[in-house]
Amino acid sequence: MLKFNGFPWTTGLVAGLLAASVCGASAQTTVSEFYNFAGTPNGSVPSSGLYLNSDGNYYGVTWSGGATNNGEIYKITPAGVETVLYSFTGGLDGEGGICNLIPGNTPGYLYGVSNSNTAGTNGGAVYKINITTGAFTILHTFPLGSTTDGSNALGGLVLDDGNYYGTTGSGGTYNSGTVYEITEAGVETVLYSFKGDENGDYGPQAGLALGYNGLMYGTSYGTGTGDYGQIFSVTPAGVVTILHTFVGTDGANPCSGLFQPISGDSHSGTVYEGTVYSYFYGTTCDGGTTGNGTIFIIDSSGDFYSQYSFQGGTDGARPVGDIFQTTDGNLFGTTERGGADSDGTLYELAFKTNTHSVLYSFNAALTSSEYWPVSNIILGVDGNLYSTALGGLDGAGDIFKAVLPLYVGSVAITPTPTTLTWGQRVVFTAKAYDQHGTLLSSQPSLLWSDSNPGGSVSISGNTATLTANSTSGGNFGLGAFNYITTNSGVSFAQYMECFGDVTYTILNPVPTITSISPTSANLDAGNTTLTVNGTGFAVTASVQWNGVALATTYVSATKVTAVIPAADLTVAGSFNVTVSDPAPGGGTSAAKIFTVL
């Protein structure tokens, strides 16, 4: 049972329930070359993803190219101007590799992991680089063939509590890879050695992800039943727990990292029955219903759900790169193969319907075209998506930009009062925002839902004027929504709406009495029906006889009746008649005099 958003959800319901809070639809996506790598002395094969630094520039690593064809670390400005910060030598610094750069403890530096060198003298290195001067510092070099250290570091770093954590694809006690910790001073500790047997784990090809519960999470490429790979958690002390073993039909051979949803996603960290849960998305390169890879979701207790199986045709195959989530909750990623031209795809998985849409098919045959994307996607400074591809104009790879059309990502209603007094008039305005949270300059026509507004509503375009005249008080609300009729061919019935609402409490009025009838009765007259006229009578209004409630019948907001029992007419005198409305709000009217003669 999946424990997302504080509720236990069965896997049969998760696809629909996870979709409840997200809206929007992408139309035609435009993909263009942002920067083309030309090979030595320029970089080549940009197999790592991009990192957007706080200075507004993009940073990345190439597998090869550079001054000695061993890869480079580069900077790209938002205008597409490249600067080579460092060229790997193929010595103790290793070779470029596939690992993303991250910020670390030292301001002005980025940290990364290089690949094993082709000379066969080391298994890669952990390093930091000054992004202003290009000064390169090796923190640790992995040896080859060691049983006490890792080798062939394919996964990037994560920073936690001042130390860096990562994985290697080989080395360790069983030569099946390691989880390691390294300090800022370069002191490395192997926390765990993967076992490599059929009941164990083998060869992680991606780094670790931090959970909200203090643990780290990762994937191993192989072993487990059928050698399909596993998902695991690891403590900072190196205690590993296997959370899920792939069986092939649910995915096989995960080669990208796990992705924890962006901050603000209600599912990203939650407490259920006293336990803090994290949940992650990931992909497998193989397996699924046709063997072409999958997208999956797993929580920190091991509850697993396979969200999508690639079919290997126009929808893509081999989702090697990490997935990315925009603020509207939708997922974006790339496949290395498949698509209309078999050169990879850019895809979107919409939360609203769990619907997969191909936004772009890469084509190696096109002039100045990118193809074979294998790295993560990021959101650029201009709100567009950026990633890298192994192929490009010169066959050495490039960075591409994907421009997503703006669409309604959310609807908000203003003002947002918590209480309204009876009879109060309020003009509500509904506004549509794009998927990035920016107010759309051209507002769509929104529809209003006023099934329980607590008063009379007049609607004109994107405004709704409410007169709060509910005669029962309590909680009410209005909603506004945008109908999405199509989503890349998905019908309206499948992809419904983007909804916003406002809720408020209408306070009962303080009633007034204008007249009572009759105004008197003879002594011992018996049960007498009293009619009370006035304003502001709630459905639950009560007529009071000298402060004691009488059996009251509501007729309208201006009339109620009550029965004066014969027992109250056995003594001559003047008696106060009032009307009281209950909370919320409410109160008691001024008295009218009833005379017993």
pLDDT above 90 covers a percentage of the chain that reads 56
Phi (first) and psi of residue 12, to 5 degrees: -70, -20
The set of residues, in sequence order, having a beta carbon less than 8 Å from that of 263 and lying 6+ positions away, is none
Domains 408-507 and 512-596 share a fold: yes
pLDDT at 351: 64
Percentage of the residues of the chain whose pLDDT score is greater than 70: 87
- The stretch 518-537 carries a mean pLDDT of 95
pLDDT recorded at residue 486 = 44
2-16, 236-250, 394-408 — which is least confidently predicted? 2-16
Per-residue pLDDT averaged across 385-408, rounded?
85
The CATH architecture of the domain made up of 408-507 is Sandwich (2.60)
Q: Where are the domains of the chain?
A: 41-167+184-193, 408-507, 512-596
Instruction: Please say if the pLDDT value at position 408 is more than 90.
Output: no
pTM above 0.85, yes or no: no
The band of 497, judged by pLDDT with boundaries at 50, 70 and 90, is low
pLDDT at 263: 45
> Which pLDDT tens digit goes with each residue over 436-449?
778 988 888 888 88
Is the preceding omega at residue 584 within 30 degrees of 0, hence cis? yes
Q: Return the minimum-mean-pLDDT range out of 88-102, 299-313, 362-376, 531-545.
A: 362-376
Would you state the pLDDT for residue 430? 93
Q: Please check whether residue 242 is in contact with residue 232, taking contact to mean a CB–CB distance below 8 angstroms.
A: yes
pLDDT band with cut points at 50, 70 and 90 for residue 493: very low
Helix/strand/coil (H, E, C) string of 260-302?
CCCCCCCCCEEEECCEEEEEEEEEECEECCCCECEEEEEECCC
pLDDT tops 90 at residue 133: yes
Q: Which of 202-211, 235-244, 265-274, 524-533 has the lowest mean pLDDT?
A: 265-274
User: What is the overall mean pLDDT for the chain?
Assistant: 85
The pLDDT of residue 40 is 81
pLDDT tens digits for range 202-235: 778 889 999 888 899 999 887 666 788 899 999 9
440 and 462 Cβ atoms separated by less than 8 Å:
no
Residues 6+ apart with CB under 8 A from 498: 23, 24, 408, 409, 410, 411, 432, 481, 482, 484
What's the pLDDT score for residue 484?
55
User: Given a cut of 60, is residue 2 above it in pLDDT?
Assistant: no
The predicted model gives 537-566 an average pLDDT of: 96
pLDDT at residue 13 tops 80? no
Whether the per-residue pLDDT at 287 is higher than 90: the answer is yes
Confidence of residue 19 (pLDDT cuts 50, 70, 90): very low
Listed range (269-283, 483-497, 582-596) with the worst mean pLDDT:
483-497
Q: For 134-145, what is the mean pLDDT?
A: 93
CB atoms within 10 A of CB 389: 29
The CATH number of 512-596 is 2.60.40.10
Residue 193, beta-bridge partner list: 178
What's 236's DSSP letter?
Answer: T
Arithmetic mean of pLDDT, 586-595:
96
* pLDDT recorded at residue 271: 46
